[in-house]
Amino acid sequence: MNADDRFQTEPIEDQHEPTEDDKVRGILEQEEADLAGHDETVVLAALRQRFNDAGIAVPEDTLLDESRRISQAEPTRFSESGDISG
């Protein structure tokens, strides 16, 4: 082993590609952490934007259900800050 082998000089590649379900779950978890307790229309707009950016089609009824659930969730210290500008 030479000295250069001791340092990571390139990104480590994922061991596996996440499934679409994994991506959906990750987006929902992050949006809940960010927006729990916020107005439902704010949450809905954020969900639509995130899924659109990710290229994931989510049924409208699912978006409505999840935005309602997130808006009714107990706010975290981060989501209480009110800064959703990301």
Taking only the tens of pLDDT, the chain with its 86 residues reads 455 667 767 766 656 788 999 999 999 999 999 999 999 999 999 999 999 999 999 999 999 999 999 999 998 776 666 555 44
In the chain, the amino acid numbered 13 is: E
- Give the H or E element holding residue 51: helix 40-54
Cβ burial, residue 63 (10 Å; 0-12/13-18/19+): middle
Number of separate helices (H) and strands (E) present in the chain: 4, 0
Chain-centre distance of CA 22, in angstroms? 11
In this structure, is the dihedral angle defined by the CA atoms of residues 48, 50, 54 and 59, taken in order, positive or negative?
A: negative
Maximum Cα–Cα distance across the chain: 57
pTM passes above 0.75: no
